[in-house]
Copies of this chain bind each other. A is one copy, B any other.
Amino acid sequence: MELVQIYQCLCDVTRLRLLNLLGQGPLCVCHFQTVLKEPQVKISKHLGYLKARGLVEAKREGNWMIYQLVSKASPELKANLACLQDCVREQAIFKADLARLRKADLSCSPIKADGQPVPRGRRCC
Question: What residues make up the interface of A, taking CB atoms closer than 8 Å to B?
Answer: 3-4, 7-8, 10-13, 16, 75-76, 79-80, 83, 86-88, 91
Most buried by B among A3, A4, A91: A3
A93's nearest neighbour on chain B, judged by CB, is B3
Copies of this subunit:
2
With A8-B11, A11-B8, A83-B80 as given contacts, are A91 and B3 in contact (CB-CB < 8 Å)?
Answer: yes
Q: Is the interface of A mostly helix, strand, loop or mixed?
A: helix
Contact of A4 among B4, B12, B83 (CB under 8 A): B12
Which B residues touch A83, using CB under 8 A? 79-80, 83
Which B residues touch A10, using CB under 8 A? 4, 7, 10-11
Contact of A7 among B11, B76, B79 (CB under 8 A): B11
